[in-house]
Amino acid sequence: MRPCRTLALFLWSLFLGFPTADTEAARAGQGDPAVTRIAYVCPTWEEAVKLTDVEKYSTEDEYAGACDGRYVIEKVRYRSDGLAVIAYFYRPQNFEGVKRPVIVFNRGSYVRADIAPELLSMFHRLASDGFAVVAPMYRGSDGGEGRDEMGGADVNDLMSIIPVLSQLDSLDTRNVFLYGESRGGMMVFQAMRDGFPARAAATFGAFTDLDEMTTSGQGAAMAKTIWPDWDERRNEIIARRSAIQWPERLQLPLLLMHGSEDPQVPPSQTLLLAARIASTQKEIGVVVFPGGNHTLQQHRVERDRLAVEFFRRYLVK
pLDDT digits (tens, 9 = 90+) for 200-235: 999 999 999 999 988 866 677 788 889 999 889 999
Give the CA count within 13 Å in the CB-facing half-sphere of 19: 7
Helix or strand or coil: residue 226?
helix
Say what the pLDDT of residue 224 is.
Answer: 86
Helix or strand or coil: residue 201?
strand
Q: How confident is the model at residue 4 (pLDDT cuts 50, 70, 90)?
A: very low
Residue 221 CB neighbour total at 10 angstroms = 14
Is the dihedral angle over the CA atoms 192, 273, 296, 210 positive or is it negative? positive
Q: Pairing between strand 24-26 and 36-40? A: antiparallel
Instruction: For each of the domains in the chain, give its residue range(s) and CATH number, in order of start.
Output: 3-312 (3.40.50.1820)
Separation of alpha carbons 116 and 123, rounded Å? 10
Structure confidence by residue, pLDDT tens digits, 150-181? 999 999 999 999 999 999 978 999 999 999 99
The CA-atom distances, in angstroms, between 59 and each of 20, 115, 117 are 20, 15, 11
Rounded to 5, what percent of the chain is helix, strand, coil? 40, 20, 40
Q: Pairing between strand 71-80 and 100-106? A: unpaired
Written as one letter, the residue type at 301 is V
Within its chain, how far is the Cα of 59 from the centroid? 21
Instruction: Please state, for a pLDDT cut of 70, what percent of the chain lies above it.
Output: 88
End-to-end CA distance of the chain: 49
Q: Could you tell me the pTM of the whole model?
A: 0.88
- Give burial (CB, 10 Å; 0-12/13-18/19+) of 216: exposed
Separation of alpha carbons 187 and 290, rounded Å? 25
DSSP assignments along 129-161, one per residue: TT-EEEEE--TTSTT--S---SSSTTHHHHHTH
The better pLDDT of the pair 26, 102 is held by 102
Is the dihedral angle over the CA atoms 175, 307, 134, 67 positive or is it negative? negative
Structure confidence by residue, pLDDT tens digits, 222-275? 888 899 998 899 999 999 999 999 999 999 999 999 999 999 899 999 999 999
Written as one letter, the residue type at 116 is A
Say what the pLDDT of residue 218 is.
Answer: 66
Long-range own/partner contacts, residues 149-153 (CB < 8 A, 24 or more apart): 149/227, 150/14, 150/110, 150/183, 150/226, 150/227, 150/241, 151/183, 151/186, 151/187, 151/190, 151/240, 151/241, 152/237, 152/240, 153/81
Say what the pLDDT of residue 29 is.
Answer: 39
Q: How confident is the model at residue 9 (pLDDT cuts 50, 70, 90)?
A: very low
Helix or strand or coil: residue 181?
strand
Say what the pLDDT of residue 217 is.
Answer: 65
